């Protein structure tokens, strides 16, 4: 992150969200505008606008509370007179207690399960985020899912591709004659022939719902000779043009392209899911990075307590024959052993935190199964953040993937509502066709039959309409009601997504400002604890006798200083983790970490 005060500069284009929803609805407009009132689009737009206005993300006039939230604010820390009081001894107090340099390379974490020396790998926060974005398995899976959805878009669009048709056949006919009582001439009327057929053509579905086709048919008939006549072989060729078109139910591009629009929406959802996975991964990486630093600081504090506790124990051991009792010495030994046990627990927590971060990164150079120990090399950012609550909410509404997904869900529901509305119409279909036929009756050649087609000597026409309507039409009406309810449910889900986003932003901002305030308060607590230990060190040099009571007081002062020091570390870690969660809630985590998504439109 850049040095200096961290400022948020948010865009003010939240009303583009409302335009997006309106555009989604307009794009699905029915070709039968007489039913607009039943669809309730005005009520839907009003509901969407009301939730934006209620959460302070609307271009309409804001309330007094929303206007107050529009001012730029900066995270602050409460003034504390303790810093001025201890100003002259600040360097000395900072040198007391656990020392942060031990958090780097070379920190002793004890033996691992493999029993081999651990290899330490220093890593910066930027490199950690870069590795997780490239290698994280959840991100890789989301990329594959997006590619699968793109294939579904191509599949939906392929429904309107032209289809090449072809067929061939060979048929033998041997049909007995009817009873004519002509003596021995009855078999002269037996139908015995063979027919060889070949048909080819092309068919295409129209976005209006109809189908057009063109085909060419060839048939060569060979007739068997009878006792009284010798029939000729002949060709019969025909060219056919046909069209079928629904005029009510199933008519219109908004109905027949509904699956394409839904598939494209799912493709957008796939991109949003990928973006959400990347946001989650970036947030988890940063939080785990600071958590690893925190656990290593716990090791430093625990090791320091063991060291200084051992010094007190050794002093008591030397004074066993003077003024220290066996009980005093045994208590000191018990305290040191408890601290040693806490050190072992800190080793375990630090190793687990390293493996947890390696699991997120999935970096081949430091896999989970390796003995490599990740070591954070970056320090927490301590600059105050400037923020604008209303702009933070607006940015979240614009950038949060869950809100964008809910908008697409409304669009899907609107598309299905149009299809269901169209399904209430009667079925009225038109079918028309023309056939040009040619037949060779003389030479038995293929070309002679084709010449009759070229001359249009024999033309057949077809035009017909078919109508059907269920009495009561209950199934279609029920489907329409269900579609309307699903659209209402989608609007409720959108409202819920807005409220959840606003809640997440406010909680994250509150955590950021509180954690920043706690950094200074925890530092004051550490300095006060360090001053207490410093005073005890002075007394130790001036007192003629070190009583067991005095040494017990030193134990307590050491524990207070270590606890205060860890509290300050926790506040710094929580501040940086809270900022990561804030960027995640606002949907700007990728922008803040310079992660870009290249969206490739699905192709054939």
Looking only at the bridges linking them, the beta strands covering 385-387 and 372-376 are: unpaired
Give 434's DSSP letter.
E
pLDDT attached to residue 262: 95
Of the CA atoms within 13 Å of residue 330, those in its CB half-sphere come to 3
Instruction: Give the model's pLDDT for residue 386.
Output: 86
What count of other Cβ atoms lies within 10 Å of the Cβ of residue 227? 10
Tell me: the pLDDT tens digits for 238-247?
999 999 999 9
Structure tokens belonging to residue 326: 């066996």
Give CA–CA dist 555/577, Å, rounded: 33
pLDDT at 225: 64
- Kindly provide the residue ranges of all beta strands, DSSP E only, lying in 230-296, ordered along the sequence: 234-246
Spatial distance between the Cα atoms of 300 and 88, rounded to a whole number of angstroms: 27
Kindly compute the dihedral angle of the four CA atoms of residues 60, 63, 65, 67, in this order, to the nearest 10 degrees: 50
Tell me the helix, strand and coil percentages in the chain, rounded to 5: 60, 15, 25
- Catalogue the long-range contacts made by 113-121 (C-beta closer than 8 Å, 24 or more residues apart): 114/371, 116/371, 117/371, 118/371, 118/372, 118/373, 119/370, 119/371, 119/372, 119/373, 120/372, 120/373, 120/375, 121/365, 121/366, 121/372, 121/373, 121/374, 121/375
Q: What confidence score (pLDDT) does residue 36 get?
A: 42
Which DSSP string do the residues of 29-76 spell out, in sequence order?
--S-GGGHHHHTHHHHHHHHHHHHHHTT-SSSPP-HHHHHTTS-EE--
DSSP state of 598: -
Question: Which domains are assigned to the chain?
Answer: 6-63+78-155+256-420+482-592 (1.20.1600.10), 161-251+425-475 (no CATH)
Residue 18: its pLDDT value, please?
38
DSSP string covering 249-266: TT-SHHHHTHHHHHHHHH
Residue pair 74/385 in contact by the 8 Å Cβ criterion = yes
| Residue 47 confidence (pLDDT) | 59
When the pLDDT of each residue in the chain is averaged and rounded to a whole number, the result is 82
The whole-angstrom separation of Cα 424 and Cα 250 is 10
Q: What's the pTM?
A: 0.80
Closest to 361 (Cα-Cα) out of 120, 131, 140, 125? 131
Q: What does the pLDDT read at residue 118? A: 75
State residue 12's pLDDT score: 31
**575 CB-near residues (< 8 Å, 6+ apart):** 380, 381, 382, 512, 515, 516, 518, 519
Look at residue 208 and give its three-state secondary structure.
coil
| Mean pLDDT in order along the chain per 10 residues (604 residues) | 35 35 38 44 61 58 50 71 76 79 71 75 92 92 90 92 94 72 56 86 94 93 68 85 94 93 93 94 95 93 93 85 82 93 93 93 87 89 86 89 93 94 94 90 68 83 94 94 94 91 92 92 90 85 71 89 93 94 92 78 51
Burial category of 444 from C-beta neighbours within 10 Å (exposed 0-12, middle 13-18, buried 19 and up): middle
- In whole angstroms, what is the distance from residue 286 CA to residue 578 CA? 10
- Alpha-carbon distance 81 to 86, whole Å? 9
- 517, two tokens: 């305030």
What gap in Å lies between CA 441 and CA 418, rounded to an integer?
55
């Amino acid at each position: 992150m850049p040095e200096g005060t961290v400022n948020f500069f948010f865009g003010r284009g939240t009303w583009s969200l409302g335009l997006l929803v309106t555009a989604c609805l307009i794009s699905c407009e029915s070709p039968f505008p007489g039913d607009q009132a039943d669809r309730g689009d005005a009520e839907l737009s009003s509901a969407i606008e009301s939730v934006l206005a209620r959460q302070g993300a609307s271009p309409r006039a804001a309330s007094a509370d929303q206007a107050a939230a529009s001012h730029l604010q900066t995270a602050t820390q409460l003034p504390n007179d303790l810093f001025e009081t201890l100003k002259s001894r600040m360097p000395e107090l900072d040198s007391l207690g656990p020392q942060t340099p031990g958090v780097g390379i070379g920190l002793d974490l004890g033996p691992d399960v493999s029993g081999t020396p651990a290899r330490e790998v220093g890593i910066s926060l930027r490199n950690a985020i870069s590795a997780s974005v490239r290698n994280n398995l959840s991100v890789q899976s989301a990329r594959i899912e997006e590619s699968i959805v793109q294939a579904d878009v191509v599949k939906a669009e392929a429904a309107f591709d032209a289809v090449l048709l072809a067929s061939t056949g060979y048929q033998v006919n041997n049909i007995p004659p009817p009873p004519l009582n002509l003596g021995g001439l009855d078999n002269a009327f037996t139908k015995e022939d063979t027919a060889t057929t070949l048909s080819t053509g092309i068919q295409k579905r129209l976005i209006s719902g109809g189908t057009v086709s063109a085909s060419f048919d060839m048939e060569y008939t060979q007739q068997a000779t009878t006792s009284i006549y010798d029939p000729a072989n002949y060709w019969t060729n025909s060219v056919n043009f046909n069209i079928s078109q629904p005029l009510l139910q199933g008519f219109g591009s908004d109905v027949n392209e509904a699956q394409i629009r839904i598939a494209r929406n799912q493709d957008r959802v796939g991109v949003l899911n990928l973006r959400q996975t990347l946001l989650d991964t970036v947030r988890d990486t940063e939080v785990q990075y600071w958590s690893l630093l925190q656990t290593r600081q716990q090791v430093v504090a625990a090791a320091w307590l063991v060291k200084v506790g051992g010094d007190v124990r050794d002093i008591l051991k030397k004074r066993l024959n003077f003024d220290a009792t066996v009980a005093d010495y045994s208590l000191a030994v018990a305290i040191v052993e408890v601290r040693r046990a806490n050190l072992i627990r800190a080793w375990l927590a630090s190793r687990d935190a390293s493996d947890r971060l390696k699991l997120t990164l999935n970096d081949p150079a430091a896999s989970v199964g390796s003995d490599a120990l990740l070591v954070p090399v970056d320090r927490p950012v301590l600059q105050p953040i400037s923020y604008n609550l209303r702009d933070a909410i607006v940015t979240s509404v614009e950038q949060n993937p869950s809100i964008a997904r809910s908008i697409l869900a409304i669009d899907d529901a609107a598309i299905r509502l149009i299809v269901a509305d169209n399904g209430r119409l009667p079925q009225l279909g038109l079918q028309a066709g023309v056939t040009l036929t040619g037949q060779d009756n003389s030479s038995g050649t293929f070309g002679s039959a084709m010449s009759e087609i070229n001359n249009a000597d024999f033309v057949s026409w077809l035009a017909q309409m078919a109508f059907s309507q269920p009495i009561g039409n209950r199934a279609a009406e029920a489907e329409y009601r269900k579609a309307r309810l699903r659209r209402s449910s989608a609007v409720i889900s959108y409202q819920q997504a807005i409220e959840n986003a606003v809640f997440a932003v406010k909680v994250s901002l509150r955590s950021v400002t509180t954690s920043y305030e706690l950094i200074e308060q925890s530092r004051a607590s550490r300095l006060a604890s360090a001053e207490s230990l410093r005073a005890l060190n002075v007394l130790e040099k001036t007192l003629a006798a070190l009583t067991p009571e005095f040494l017990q007081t030193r134990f307590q002062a050491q524990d207070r200083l270590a606890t205060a020091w860890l509290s300050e570390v926790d506040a710094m870690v929580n501040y940086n983790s809270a900022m990561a969660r804030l960027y995640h809630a606002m949907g700007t985590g990728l922008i803040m970490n310079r992660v870009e998504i290249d969206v490739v439109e699905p192709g054939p």
